[in-house]
A = this chain, B = another copy of it.
Amino acid sequence: PDGDAMAGAADRNGQLTKPPGALGRLEDLAQWYAGWRGNPRPSIDAPQVIVFAGNHGVAARGVSAFPPEVTVQMVANFEQGGAAINQLARTFGARMDVVPLDLDTPTADFTEGPAMTEAGVVAALRAGWDAVAEEADVLVVGEMGIGNTTSAAAIATRLFGGDAGDWTGRGTGVEGDALALKTQVVADGLAAHGSATDGLDILMRMGGRELAGMAGAIARARSLCIPVVMDGFICTAAAACLEKTQEGALDHVVAGHQSAEAAHGHMLEALGKEPLLSLGLRLGEGTGAALAIGVLKGAIACHSGMATFAEAGVADG
């Protein structure tokens, strides 16, 4: 981030017609955003939402409440504008891109070997990198992929420690025996990749193409100084692979929301990210993050649009 822009934004913030600190987190958000944009009085004009989709070999083990063909059906729904994320992108003035990643060929079942080859994960990271619009000024990355909370739970367990049961949750709605099975699948995956410790290696072994796509896009956004609003459990697991490879890799990322998937809150705590929203969403697609674009827009509108005490002729206490 640009220290001068942040300092300029902090100076401006102190002059705006409100008691000091009265806009709470909106003030911190605006200064953080100003720093990354290199502009003490920035605006948000071009948010971008990218939804990555991938299929998972592990889905064949019955870890989801939905059949794997739903991934490709939902991609069609995204392309026709019928999904939740389409409505939220439109509501907050974001362009939306959909990036299906080789849906006809699921990744390998990660309980039996690496989900992706090195070339495969690099191609997916690259697809994410290439999907970011250079002119975007906020980025949301979301995902669709039947089976991908299983993948994310395995990644989280390996990155943050504990047992499979600590990080495995309901996903789209598995309970009881199905949840026990899912937890066992995560444990089997961990056992099959005992040696992995590097974030990107873990992503390759237990992730999926849509997780790698999100990671690649988040990295690209940093190179373009585009702040990112992070979505829920799966998005955060993908992002965490970057952080565990390079500390500070998520400094340009704010947590858009806390998912109802129980372990998401623990992951956010471990990453030191306080969510902007906590409304019980557990849909993925980037929906929680897209909703938080509204909060970020509000923060920037106040910061850059308000009058100063001097401009407004208001006594400053």
* Interface membership of A302, Cβ < 8 A: yes
* Interface membership of A82, Cβ < 8 A: yes
A232 CB to closest chain B CB (Å) equals: 10
Question: Which among A73-81, A123-131, A185-193 touches the partner chain?
Answer: A73-81
A: residues with CB less than 8 A from B are 16-26, 65-67, 69-70, 73-74, 76-77, 80, 82-84, 86-88, 90-92, 172-173, 260, 276-283, 287, 290-291, 294-295, 297-298, 301-302, 305-307, 311-315, 317
A317 touches B66 (CB 8 A): yes
Contact among B19, B23, B67, B291 for A172, CB-based, below 8 A: B19
Q: Which residues of B contact A87 (CB under 8 A)?
A: 298, 301-302, 305-306
24 residue pairs A–B, Cβ–Cβ below 8 Å: A17-B84, A18-B83, A21-B282, A22-B282, A23-B281, A23-B283, A23-B287, A25-B280, A25-B281, A26-B291, A66-B317, A67-B315, A69-B315, A70-B317, A73-B312, A74-B314, A83-B312, A87-B305, A90-B305, A91-B294, A172-B317, A277-B277, A279-B295, A294-B295
In angstroms, Cα B26 to Cα A116, docked, is 36
A317 touches B65 (CB 8 A): yes
A103 CB to closest chain B CB (Å) equals: 14
Contact among B21, B91, B173, B282 for A297, CB-based, below 8 A: B91
In the complex, the chain B residue whose C-beta lies closest to that of A25 is B279
In angstroms, Cα B22 to Cα A260, docked, is 9
In angstroms, Cα B271 to Cα A70, docked, is 42
Q: Which residues of B contact A76 (CB under 8 A)?
A: 312-313
Q: Which residues of B contact A314 (CB under 8 A)?
A: 70, 73-74, 77
